[in-house]
Structure 1
Amino acid sequence: MVFDVRRLDIYRKVPKDLTQPTYTGAVVSIICCVFMLFLFLSELKGFIATEIVNELYVDDPDKNSGGKIDVSLNISLPNLHCDLVGLDIQDEMGRHEVGHIDNSMKVPLNHGYGCRFEGEFTINKVPGNFHVSTHSATAQPQSPDMTHLIHKLAFGEKLQVQNVQGAFNALGGADRLSSNPLASHDYILKIVPTVYEDLSGKQRFSYQYTVANKEYVAYNNITYYNQPVNMSSLSLSRPCRST
């Protein structure tokens, strides 16, 4: 007589005609399948999700910048004629430009009584300031009205990436239209480099900044003090004074 090895099977099948489905078994089966599907989708979402990692550098990460920072400025002065509006730049390296006009545009507002100034320029990575004023005008007005609305002030490359939080345009939307028309406005900026690297390894170099401002009645201008972080020691440099 031949020995049947199937006798050793401990996972024997029950004949189908001896089984009986129940509502309880169906409910348990459905719950288990839904739970397993939920676990699978959760793990899949976690696997394909993009992770944003923040790191702090103690050196300027953009080695190809040449010691320069790109600036993009867009501001409206609804009560100051475009012939009077100018951009001045100065810093501790001896740069002093009055009426900087490269890569800039003036758009008349309020039937020519106001002006919208848009400009792109570079500043050195040293303490300094740039300001919108009437210094470059041929004839100085008696009482220029410097009330304004800042649409954009940003540094470095433009980041068109969703879900990236940061103070890349901290002054965007700053409204000084109800300020004293005879007042000057100073904005003290502390600029910090920011690197965004996507999944392909491509890097974009931008800058975030914090701002403090003061308003006072004096010779009229709008000054932005560049107060960058000293990247070798992470200490704050003092800004130079406006003229």
Structure 2
Amino acid sequence: MTEKRSFAHIDTWVFDLDNTLYPHHVNLWQQVDQRIGEFIGAYLKVSAEQARIIQKEYYRRYGTSMRGMMTEHGVHADDYLAYVHQIDHSPLEPNPAMGAAIAKLPGRKLILTNGSTDHAEAVLARLGLLAHFEAVFDIIAAELEPKPAAQTYHKFLTRHDVDASKAAMFEDLARNLVVPHQLGMTTVLVVPDGSREVVREDWELEGRDDPSVDHVTDDLTGFLQGLAKP
């Protein structure tokens, strides 16, 4: 069995945003998910049921439904992002314990998200975490190519001068950890709290036994607090 990578050498901490930095059961993403369906239905002039099928198929095939709509139907990213991220962020509450744990991690902290910077900053502000992060690398910075595309991670590493062998990546989708692990990053899969109901596709919950996953946690704050201890 391959030995799991540790954190002693890490100087850059990279976090996904949605369903990673806040609990899955908050279901903030449910609002985005609903608005994606509405956008697709209106744009393609199809029923809500058909829009849902298209939405999930593109998500699976292209990494994001937006990429599928751009590729298959010529949708403009700005229009899409402006609509789907128009949500109520109030379900999110400040998480000072997580903020304190992140602050104690040695080195830089960055966000790598398939969402927009505006959405990321709104989420981080609600969580009380905005001041802890140096930068957000979003879908626009990725030139609209979402994770898990390899070129997106390469662009991120180059843009922010990150040494992958000294970086850790926290994600809620195992498939988004495959390339980071190949590049030498220590990987952490953040899974839902098993005692709370969450809205997820079955395939999104897979992969915790994948060799590209070094660590798994259902309590990110507790996990980070553990790393901060001497």
TM-score (norm 1): 0.21
Higher Cα radius of gyration: 1
Which structure shows the bigger proportion of residues in helix conformation? Answer: 2
Which protein, 1 or 2, shows the higher relative CO under an 8 Å CA cutoff with sep ≥ 6? Answer: 2
